Amino acid sequence: MTGIALDLDHVRQQFPGLHRGWTLFDNAGGSQILRGAVDRMTEFLFERNVQIGGSYAVSQAAAEALRDARAAAQVLVNAARPEEIVFGPSTTVLLQNLARAMRTQLSPGDEVIVTMADHESNIGPWVALREFGIEVLFWPLDPETMALDLEDLRALLTDRTRLVCMTHVSNILGQVHPVAEVARIVHEAGARLCVDAVAYAPHRAIDVQAWDVDYYVFSLYKTYGPHYAVMYGKHELLLELDTLYHYFYGKDKVPGKLEPGNPSYECAYSTLALRDYLADLGGAAGGTVRNRIEAAFGAVTRQEDALVGRLLSYLTSRNDVQVVGSSHNASSTRIPTVAFHFDGQNSGEIARHMDDHRIAIRHGDFHSRRLVEYLGLDGQGGVLRVSMVHYNTLDEVDRLCDALDRILQAA
């Protein structure tokens, strides 16, 4: 695989939080924030911090900032228009809001399909619709392959299926799911597709038009920004949703009707920094901003392939550890989020001992509790998870492996 290479010194300089003496391997819980994102937020708060909708110049500047934020997110996900971008406090809230706004479109006996591999954010809001007579079916995970079988999905689809909800990448299994193929299958059945992309967005370029997804949601705070989130929805589908705002926000007021109380302008504005950072990383590729972003993610993938390869090589060399999910990274389809557990060891104890080495990892179920319980891994502190991103280094992975050796030898 060829393409531009990351300048890791330059990359790490953009993240002030990396310089506190810790090796940070808990990025799937929340990445470090770009310096530029904080600069954008500060700029808004000091220079444009008023409500939009006024005739005066500062209000007009605030409205421009929000428009620019939607345009930046549009480029990041390759949406057709900026009005397809909805901002919200978190992926969890956005998916709860989506279920609420969609409820009157669903009738008793209609079916929604969710997966066992998802974070609870993309399961719970849909399961709650059972109160209204909606049937919620689970697309099972093959416990042997740790994969979602498309034939299992086809077997669940009926003429009553209205929506399929899935994760692009499980925050435990780490495998990229073929959402474009799923979208084709779902659409052929007359249903729609909602994708939780929280674990995907920091690692790969998003292209909602190429994949033909209907709703696509991810968190900025796991994608180098502040604690905020983005939902893409096809414009014609957003128009159909009920308003979540005041009664005078008509159904055609998209996306404002789905942002009750208005978005956080400063958090939304930080999206420009993420776009600019990625475009800068891919600048040598030339072309449009979108082309440069795609090139940047190509370089990100190569760096992350090296990271996950080094960690998986260490884990598979031992005979006392089980990797949860694929232990290989075939065709770059595994992101560097790796869950595992050691035979007879408490994952929580290992994570706490890792603190002594100033290496940050985490243990538990990561709000994918149904999956962890389904796999029978909820005991002994759950699973350990090492979640890396492109600013991590091979030296850091080696330091982690050495620390694990020391901790296990002392156990």
Where a domain ends, among 224, 246, 276?
276
Asked whether residue 404 is domain-assigned, the answer is: yes
Could you give the CA distance from residue 171 to residue 338 in angstroms, rounded to a whole number?
A: 9
Residues 6+ apart with CB under 8 A from 330: none
Domain end call among 209, 241, 276? 276
Q: Is residue 284 part of a domain?
A: no
The per-residue pLDDT string of the chain (411 residues; one tens digit each, 9 = 90 and over) reads: 468 889 999 999 999 999 999 999 999 999 999 999 999 999 999 999 999 999 999 999 999 999 999 999 999 999 999 999 999 999 999 999 999 999 999 999 999 999 999 999 999 999 999 999 999 999 999 888 889 999 999 999 999 999 999 999 999 999 999 999 999 999 999 999 999 999 999 999 999 999 999 999 999 999 999 999 999 999 999 999 999 999 999 999 999 999 999 999 999 999 999 999 999 999 988 999 999 999 999 999 999 999 999 999 999 999 999 999 999 999 999 999 999 999 999 999 999 999 999 999 999 999 999 999 999 999 999 999 999 999 999 999 999 999 999 999 997
Instruction: List the CATH number of the domain containing 372.
Output: 3.90.1150.10
CATH number for position 241: 3.40.640.10
Q: Is 174 left (phi over 0), alpha (psi -120 to 50) or beta?
A: left
141, 177: one domain:
yes
Q: Is residue 338 part of a domain?
A: yes
Tell whether 73 is covered by a domain: yes
Whether residue 193 is contained in a domain is answered as yes
59 vs 210: CA distance, rounded Å? 36
The tally of domains found in the chain comes to 2
Residue 282 within any structural domain of the chain:
no
Same domain, 65 and 26: no
Q: Judge if 261 and 331 occupy the same domain.
A: no
Q: Give residue 1's pLDDT.
A: 45
Q: What is the 3-state secondary structure (H, E, C) of 253-321?
A: CCCHHHCCCCCCHHHHHCHHHHHHHHHHHCHHHCCCHHHHHHHHHHHHHHHHHHHHHHHHHHHHCCCCE
Alpha-carbon distance 278 to 367, whole Å?
A: 29
Together in a domain, 337 and 214:
no
**Of 250, 276, 302, the domain-final residue:** 276
Tokens of 403: 């620390």
Gap between the Cα atoms of 220 and 230, Å rounded: 7
Same domain as 370, residue 266: no
Structural domain span for residue 182: 37-276
What is the pLDDT, as a whole number, of residue 2?
64
Residues 328 and 232 in one domain: no
